[in-house]
Amino acid sequence: MSLNMLLPLLLGLLLLAACDNRSSVVDGSSANATSRPAAPDADTGDVEWRQHGLNAAETRFSPLRDINSDNIATLGLDWHFDYPTARGMEATPLIVDGVIYTTASWSMVFAHDARSGELLWLHDPQVPREWAVHLCCDVVNRGVAYADGKIVSGTLDGRLIALDADSGKLLWEVQTTDRNRPYSITGAPRIVKGRVIIGNGGSELGVRGYVSAYKLDSGDMAWRFYTVPGNPEDGFENQAMEVAAETWKGGPWWEIGGGGTVWDSMAYDPELDLLYIGVGNGAPWNAKIRSPGGGDNLYLSSIIALDPDDGSYVWHYQTTPGDSWDYTATQHMILADLDINGRQRKVIMQAPKNGFFYVLDRRTGELLSAEPYAGVTWATHIDLDTGRPVESAGARYEKNSTGLHLPGPIGAHNWHPMSYNPDTGLVYIPKQDVPYVFANDTEFAYRPGYWNTGTDALPAALPDDPETKAAVLDLVKGAIVAWDPVAAAPRWEIQHAGPWNGGVLSTAGNLLFQGNSGGHFAAYRADNGAELWRFDAQTGVMAAPVTYRLDGIQYVAVVAGWGGALALVGGEALKAGPIPNRSRLLVFRLGADKQLPTQTTTPLVLDPPELTASAAELLDGQRNYLTFCVFCHGDGAVSGGATPDLRAMTAETHQRWDSIVRGGSHWQNGMVGFAGVLDQQQSENIRQYVIERARITLDSN
């Protein structure tokens, strides 16, 4: 599609967005504020953060209020620790018995004294660096689980490891995946009734999703639940798979795998004894290629309730039937008891990628409400009677319609944790609007181990025409939405410079903490969103903060370090601008005033060589760039800061291009060689495309 064809589509979308005003919000100042925070806690006992989401319900709301909206001005840095890695940091630390356990990139695990920051031990699982090519979204890890003196953690190459919490000594290690498929683990395990529950990722690279349970004491597998059916000729593992297979038509989806990976969220209700898992998108994204005969494709994009004892199916709710847009339902899930229409309900809440905020009865999966919390073009609404979305005309690009869609595959909300604050009654959602042009890939061919979306990436690249580009970028936004789950409506928003901001924490001190893509860690009033405090972290902060109290001192801790999916692929859509990765743990308390070392950032110098390629060679270069490189080096070769900006390569790097790109000479740092899929001419065409991007940047400045 040519660029001037994009403009009318874009205007059409803007109109659509204007009509769909359901997610407009009221001004923060008129929010029905709860009053001032209560006086500091009279109780001064230790309060830790011993589970990923703070508790089994995963509320991420701390009852601590020693630090509160009245005294936050004196919050300062108490200590920090710089990690030896320089890629995306997404972990929620745990604080157990005075020790803070966290992970850095490449699945490394660190233990520090939670008062002083002293490093107690570290475990490097030695992930082969070439595994990076099997990852959609950076070499990240979202944290560990703790129980019975053991720290359990997943690795990028699919291992689950148990370490002695005191010494860091390896107790057991199991391979949870088939190493011949591009599986990965980035999510935090959960421990339920003596079993470690772990999922995996890799859908668009070609895998079949599942979640497994391993015995905490031995590492032996207890059960496994697949989320999508395998080849029917091999028989089904259970009745849930037999039911699911009815909704997949005209295979062979099992060759690519079908997707449905459980790569992040889980929650557990001890009273109902139900384990909830969030299930991901289809592989490939394009439903027509995956299941040519149509169908819902269970259990893609679903929340599933399982029996934690044997992993058997209890109920499911599918947020996006027949998903074609990478609309995962792997986003954070929170359990709460809410008064809805005069009835006390046990609910589970999720803001999946598809832009609707869902409240379900968590005993049965009954849908209670689903309203848009962000810009949505793919569906007009969710029908509460049928529980199904009513899709917009033209949403199904696989039928050869095309246009700009919201949300894009990065989601209106990604993995960044939310928080449910019972004092304000609000769920805080780190939301974003990042549109995307989905287009049918009419020449799809399965490439094992590489990206297999079934969409044509060319129309999705940000156009060069200044007017169209400005109009697209105008749609890109990032915010915190304060969502009232009882009223099923937003109360207020905090606007950010751009998308891909951090996970959130709220506290009984009327505080809401969040880091952002602009390099700050900030605190807001939980009742109305007014900003109270900010700290320059010198790097983007994506991970969710935690808080704890030891010896009567309340601390706030956050893992900082720019990276992750949109930081790598976003290009100019990262409106806060490029920012370096500085991977560190930051810990704050009242009255502290330590400083981070001052940093200088070197500006990009663009000095590209001559462009010699023909238009056809440039197009070939762009296509292959979008197929193999964009996920790490950014749309239009514009880096978000966490990987090298290819436009700024030195003459020497241009010289060595082919040995880096095909030969893999930088593989130790996660830059694998592409000799298996690119010939020398194709590699050279990509280089020419990168030169063109540098020249266009110079010309537009």
Of the two residues 193 and 656, which places its CB atom closer to ligand HEC in the complex? 656
Residue written as token pair 């001890």:
270
Amino acid at 9: L
How far is residue 211 CA from its own chain's centroid?
Answer: 18
Of the two residues 237 and 617, which places its CB atom closer to ligand HEC in the complex? 617
Backbone angles phi, psi at 317, to 5 degrees: -130, 125
Contact assessment for residue 187 and residue 333, using Cβ atoms and an 8 Å cutoff: no
443: number of Cβ within 10 Å = 6
Q: Long-range contacts for 594-597 (Cβ within 8 Å, ≥24 apart)?
A: 594/76, 594/77, 594/78, 594/79, 594/80, 595/77, 596/77, 596/80, 596/536, 596/537, 596/538
How far apart CA 96 and CA 283 sit, in angstroms, is 38
391: number of Cβ within 10 Å = 15
492: number of Cβ within 10 Å = 22
Nearest Cα to Cα of residue 247 among 234, 256, 260, 264: 260
How far apart CA 194 and CA 93 sit, in angstroms, is 21
How far apart CA 70 and CA 38 sit, in angstroms, is 10
How far apart CA 343 and CA 121 sit, in angstroms, is 50
Query: Residue 231 corresponds to which tokens in the numbers above?
Result: 């080849």
Backbone angles phi, psi at 676, to 5 degrees: -70, -20
Of the two residues 362 and 693, which places its CB atom closer to ligand HEC in the complex? 693
Of the two residues 9 and 626, which places its CB atom closer to ligand HEC in the complex? 626
CB of 682 to ligand HEC, least distance (A): 9
CB of 625 to ligand HEC, least distance (A): 6
698: number of Cβ within 10 Å = 12
Of the two residues 44 and 653, which places its CB atom closer to ligand HEC in the complex? 653
Query: Residue 491 corresponds to which tokens in the numbers above?
Result: 């109360």
Of the two residues 129 and 575, which places its CB atom closer to ligand HEC in the complex? 129
Of the two residues 133 and 205, which places its CB atom closer to ligand HEC in the complex? 133
Residue written as token pair 């319609």:
401
Q: Is 12 exposed, middle or buried (0-12, 13-18, 19+ CB in 10 A)?
A: middle
CA distances to 137, 497, 681, 684 from 620, in Å: 24, 34, 10, 10
Of the two residues 562 and 631, which places its CB atom closer to ligand HEC in the complex? 631
CB of 681 to ligand HEC, least distance (A): 13
CB of 454 to ligand HEC, least distance (A): 19
CB of 399 to ligand HEC, least distance (A): 31
Of the two residues 277 and 649, which places its CB atom closer to ligand HEC in the complex? 649
- Asked if the peptide bond before residue 308 counts as cis, ω within 30 degrees of 0, the response is no
How far apart CA 581 and CA 632 sit, in angstroms, is 14
Nearest Cα to Cα of residue 656 among 664, 667, 647: 664
Contact assessment for residue 26 and residue 481, using Cβ atoms and an 8 Å cutoff: no
Contact assessment for residue 14 and residue 471, using Cβ atoms and an 8 Å cutoff: yes
CB of 476 to ligand HEC, least distance (A): 23
CB of 690 to ligand HEC, least distance (A): 7
Of the two residues 43 and 124, which places its CB atom closer to ligand HEC in the complex? 124
CB of 672 to ligand HEC, least distance (A): 6
Of the two residues 599 and 668, which places its CB atom closer to ligand HEC in the complex? 668
Amino acid at 438: F
CB of 456 to ligand HEC, least distance (A): 18
CB of 634 to ligand HEC, least distance (A): 10
Query: Residue 697 corresponds to which tokens in the numbers above?
Result: 């940047």
CB of 608 to ligand HEC, least distance (A): 12
Of the two residues 475 and 661, which places its CB atom closer to ligand HEC in the complex? 661
Of the two residues 16 and 207, which places its CB atom closer to ligand HEC in the complex? 207
CB of 620 to ligand HEC, least distance (A): 12
CB of 90 to ligand HEC, least distance (A): 16
Query: Residue 447 corresponds to which tokens in the numbers above?
Result: 């490439």
Residue 60, by phi and psi: left (phi above 0), alpha (psi -120 to 50) or beta? left
CA atoms within 13 A on the CB side of 671: 18
Of the two residues 476 and 632, which places its CB atom closer to ligand HEC in the complex? 632
CB of 673 to ligand HEC, least distance (A): 9
How far apart CA 142 and CA 92 sit, in angstroms, is 6
**Which residues fall within 8 angstroms of residue 609, CB to CB, at 6 or more apart?**
651, 654, 691
470: number of Cβ within 10 Å = 9
Nearest Cα to Cα of residue 503 among 521, 484, 528, 477: 521
CB of 564 to ligand HEC, least distance (A): 12
Of the two residues 165 and 457, which places its CB atom closer to ligand HEC in the complex? 457
Of the two residues 205 and 303, which places its CB atom closer to ligand HEC in the complex? 205
Buried/exposed code over 42-65 (b: 16+ C-beta within 10 A; e: otherwise): eeeeebbbbbbbbebbbbbbbebb
Of the two residues 482 and 646, which places its CB atom closer to ligand HEC in the complex? 646
Residues of this chain that interact with ligand HEC (CB under 6 A) are 132-133, 628-629, 631-633, 643-644, 646, 649, 653, 657, 660-661, 666, 669-671, 674, 686
CB of 366 to ligand HEC, least distance (A): 42
Of the two residues 206 and 308, which places its CB atom closer to ligand HEC in the complex? 206
How far apart CA 392 and CA 493 sit, in angstroms, is 26
**Which residues fall within 8 angstroms of residue 442, CB to CB, at 6 or more apart?**
456
CB of 463 to ligand HEC, least distance (A): 21
CB of 205 to ligand HEC, least distance (A): 11
How far apart CA 277 and CA 131 sit, in angstroms, is 26
CA atoms within 13 A on the CB side of 312: 4
